């Protein structure tokens, strides 16, 4: 008899202090019987520590903001954590999450199709000697593709952002925050260098090692601070002369 090579369903543990999160996640797992299975529920980090001492799991779906001990503190306390997927309503935790080696980062409310993508990623075997982080797809070059916009990959999917809507880009570790004229902030897994290579230099300038600014959005220069829309952006000493030249102030 040929052995069955089909992988067993992933044993999933959810740690979240919100009962609704458990209801939603259980419903999602029930829709994927051959891929994932419910291993248990914990409503706090200390409870999860006790559970994990006696019960093996494949995947830990972990909330961040919990009373007593946060999800990130729990993750740091685990000597050999299983695969971890952070589930949170706040994108601000992304940098800490990926520093801790999490597999994925789900923003609440979690959509089912996004959850399926995470489960599929967890089932996909790693290639031999492959790096732990899968390289992102090559960025769309606005000079040869869509000349008035850029495509940004976020947790919700890929979103087209017109250059006229992008006020400035702020470095955030291995990510960047894209501040839009509407007031929205998009977090994307790009570096400042990657973003600078995709934005037209005739429209965007580096003002600081952590900031790229849309020239058309600059309202005022005061000392070493630019007013961009309603936000203040620093001007680094290394970039000041070029900023003055671009703004035709010298």
79-131 residue pLDDT tens? 888 999 999 877 666 666 666 778 888 888 899 999 999 999 898 754 443 33
Pairing of strands 104-107, 149-154: unpaired
Give the domain ranges of the chain: 10-123, 149-246
154-192 residue pLDDT tens? 777 778 899 999 999 999 877 889 999 998 888 888 888
Predicted structure pTM score: 0.51
Residues near 147 by beta carbon (within 8 Å), at least 6 away in sequence: none
Q: Give the CATH number of domain 149-246; options: 3.40.50.1820, 2.60.40.1180, 2.40.50.1020, 3.30.70.380.
A: 2.40.50.1020
Q: Could you tell me the CATH superfamily of domain 10-123? A: Response regulator (3.40.50.2300)
Kindly report the average pLDDT of the chain as a whole number: 83
């Amino acid at each position: 008899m040929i052995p069955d090579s089909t992988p067993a369903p992933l044993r999933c543990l959810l740690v979240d202090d919100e009962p609704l999160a458990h209801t939603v996640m259980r419903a999602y797992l029930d829709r994927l019987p051959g891929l994932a299975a419910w291993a248990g529920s914990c409503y706090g980090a200390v409870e999860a520590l006790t559970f994990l001492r006696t019960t093996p799991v494949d995947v830990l779906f972990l909330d961040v903001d919990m009373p007593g001990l946060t999800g990130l503190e729990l993750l740091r306390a685990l000597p050999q954590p299983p695969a971890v997927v952070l589930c949170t309503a706040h994108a601000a935790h992304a940098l800490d999450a990926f520093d801790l080696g999490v597999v994925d980062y789900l923003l609440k409310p979690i959509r089912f199709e996004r959850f399926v993508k995470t489960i599929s990623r967890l089932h996909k075997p790693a290639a031999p000697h492959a790096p732990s982080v899968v390289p992102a797809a090559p960025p769309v070059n606005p000079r040869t593709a869509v000349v008035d916009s850029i495509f940004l990959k976020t947790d919700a999917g890929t979103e087209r952002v017109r250059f006229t809507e992008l006020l400035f880009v702020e470095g955030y570790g291995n990510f960047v925050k894209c501040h839009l004229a509407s007031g929205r902030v998009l977090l994307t897994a790009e570096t400042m260098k990657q973003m600078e290579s995709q934005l037209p230099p005739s429209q965007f300038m580096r003002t600081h090692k952590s900031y790229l600014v849309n020239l058309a959005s600059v309202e005022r220069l005061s000392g070493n601070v630019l007013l961009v829309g309603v936000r203040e952006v620093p001007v680094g000493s290394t970039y000041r002369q070029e900023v003055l030249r671009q703004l035709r102030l010298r």
